[in-house]
Amino acid sequence: MAVTDAPPTHPELDQALRDLRAGADRWAALPVPDRAQVFREVFDAVAGVAREWAETAARAKNIPDGSVLAGEEWMSGPYVALESSAAYARAYEAMARGRSPVDGLPMRAAPGGRTAVRVLPRTAQEWVLFHGFSAEAWLPPGVSPEQVRREAGLDAGTVGTSGGVGLVLGAGNISSIAPLDAFYELVAAGRTSLVKLNPTFAGLLGVYEKALAPLIRIGAVRVVNGDGAVGAYLTGHDDVDKVHITGSRATHDTIVWGRGDEAARRRAEHDPRLAVPITSELGGVSPIIVVPGRWSDADLRFQAEHVATMRLHNAGHNCIAGQMVVLSADWPQKDAFLAELRRAFERLPAREPWYPGSADRIRDAVAAHAGAETINGRVLLESTGDDPACDTEYFAPVLAWRQLPGAGAEFLRAAVSFANERLEGTLGANVVVDPAARKAMGAAFDEALADLRYGTIGVNAWTAVGFNLAGATWGAFPGNTLEDVGSGIGVVHNGHLLAGPERTVVTGPFREFPRSVAGGEFSLFPKPPWFAGARTAATTGERLTRYAAAPSWSRLVAVLAPAFRA
């Protein structure tokens, strides 16, 4: 069937699934070099529609023409899709040459008998573009480097075996999520996908049709609009072999268990209503652990904007948005930092929440927390550690803070325990620490990271950076079940096709250039273009996407020029 703007009828959905079944057989027979070529064609298709993609996503979020906020849509939309399709093409090309997708990547021993695979920087240009940043994918304890190399590739190099047909229930907040989920299903499992868009992104259907045209043409992907009724029809369809959802835990549990009395009965009987496997990415309450140190006034301002960005990006409608700031009650600069955080909320551009239900969630947060402050349309509140801010992903511009006793490693251990044991979900955790404080803790800092049970950890870098890195893994910390799904089951992205990854750790500089160099850090990275107050975000985001479409040193310089004026 052709992709159209209208919600499909049941017969049209039935036909789409039959087409995808035939497409799965064609993909199974396709030689590995030809699969690489398909993803090179997807790369070209995304590049060709990049501007339309970014502008259409901006309109879906009520971003005015010419706004710096458009930079978010370039960086989290076509840029990520370009990086992802290129990464999968490289993985296929490596396997076609008889190599592992991780060949050439440095590995080291990480705490707890783990192997860490460095996925950023990968090339000299990445070293310049992300100067001062690094990222590693950690494997579980006991996995050796040799095992990592041997098992990387998953089912991507398997020819002759069909992975069947999957249903991808797309998220409605970040425009690259649904395409990337379909990519991973096809590459990692040889599974074709019917992608049902969230209604918030109904207007993007035509863009996706163009961007995914090489996959649609061979029957590997179909994209449709539709409401909950369409989703319900598809999750119960006999021709769907597997479901993947990016969304809320409530939606996941409705699909798996049903509602009300039915759900209670099925849980008690361990009898899910969903008859096929399901993987998921479901968000949660992400901590921002601020390790006490001796900070300058500029440090306080910069990191306050950093923390505010973790909450305010995309108007707060991110599954990876920071929600709980964990501070030391014994930090002499705690009150100064909170004052800077309030000022950041006040000075950063006001933005109306656009995601459905936001106003209700904001009202609920204020009503549930005595003393909650409303600042420029954003909410800042103090958590007792036993209130809804610990359990409820507000998905809106609501930021909580909690204080715990201690300093140094003692505080960090307490903060890790609080995050692990009290906060809902395990998708991502952020740690802000100045170089001197980290050095003083020595091995205790790395051990604390290993104890932090989250799928992505950002050290002086918002965990969303990990989302944007094609070589990083993305998903909840392993161990969730259908009965207690938390932030979800399984991973996506994973451009090097690691088998059974545990987490990704992204590390960035504590200070922006030139203060970074003055403070002893080897980083030339300016104020990050994803910061909520970055004045050149739109230009930088567009040029970054143009660079990703045709990497060259001259285009890299063109990215850096506006970035240094942020």
Distance CA 506, CA 119 (A): 10
Distances (CA, A) of 563 to 304, 474, 498, 548, 553: 20, 26, 32, 15, 15
- Identify the CA nearest to 461 among candidates 506, 523, 428, 528: 506
- Whether the pLDDT of residue 3 is over 60: the answer is no
Spell out the domains of the chain, with CATH numbers in brackets. Answer: 10-106+157-281 (3.40.605.10), 286-534 (3.40.309.10)
Neighbours of 511 (CB within 10 A): 24
- In angstroms, the CA 189 to CA 206 distance is 26
Query: Among residues 243, 215, 281, 309, which one has the least CA distance to residue 493?
Result: 281
A 10 A CB-CB count for 158 gives 15
Residue 492: partners with Cβ closer than 8 Å, 6 or more residues away = 180, 181, 184, 244, 281, 474, 475
Provide the β-strand partners of residue 280: 245
- The residue-averaged pLDDT of 411-422 equals 98
3-state secondary structure of 67: coil
Q: Taking residues 38-48, what's their average pLDDT?
A: 98
49 contact partners, CB below 8 Å, separation of at least 6: 78, 207, 210, 211
Which position has the token pair 């040193």? Answer: 553
Which residues touch 197 (CB under 8 Å, ≥6 apart)?
A: 170, 172, 178, 204, 205, 208, 223, 224, 225, 226
Global confidence as pTM: 0.97
Structure tokens at 444: 């205790």
Q: Is the dihedral of CA 38, 493, 509, 399 positive or negative?
A: positive
Please give the backbone phi and psi of residue 159, each rounded to the nearest 5 degrees, phi first. -115, 135
pLDDT at residue number 566: 86
How many whole angstroms separate alpha carbon 301 and alpha carbon 56? 34
Half-sphere exposure of 200 (CA within 13 A, CB side): 19
pLDDT digits (tens, 9 = 90+) for 378-409: 999 999 999 999 999 999 999 999 999 999 99
Average pLDDT of the segment spanning 270-276: 97
The pLDDT, as a whole number, for residue 46 is 98
**CA–CA dist 566, 563 (Å, integer):** 5
> 372: which 2 tokens?
């909650």
Whether 4 has a pLDDT exceeding 80, the answer reads no
Quote the pLDDT of residue 5. Answer: 57
Q: Where are the alpha helices (DSSP H) in 423-457?
A: 435-441, 443-451
Position 320 scores a pLDDT of 94
The DSSP result for 116-139, as a single string, is: EEEEE--SHHHHHHTTT-EEEEEP
Select from 286, 198, 315, 188 the least CA-distant residue to 245: 198
Contact by Cβ (8 Å): 467, 320? yes
* 492 has pLDDT over 60: yes
The residue type of 371 is: G
pLDDT number for residue 10: 97
Among 191-195, 278-282, 518-522, 541-545, where is mean pLDDT lowest? 518-522
Q: How confident is the model at residue 2 (pLDDT cuts 50, 70, 90)?
A: very low
Cα distance between residue 189 and residue 178, in whole Å? 16
pLDDT of residue 7: 81
And the tokens for 423? 């906060």
Q: How far apart are CA 44 and CA 429, in angstroms?
A: 34
Give the pLDDT confidence of 310-367 residue by residue, as tens digits: 999 999 999 999 999 999 999 999 999 999 999 999 999 889 999 999 999 999 999 9
Candidate from 6-15, 240-249, 293-302 with smallest mean pLDDT: 6-15
Per-residue pLDDT for 1 more than 60?
Answer: no
Hey, what amino acid is at 317?
H
Instruction: Give the tokens for residue 42.
Output: 């997807």
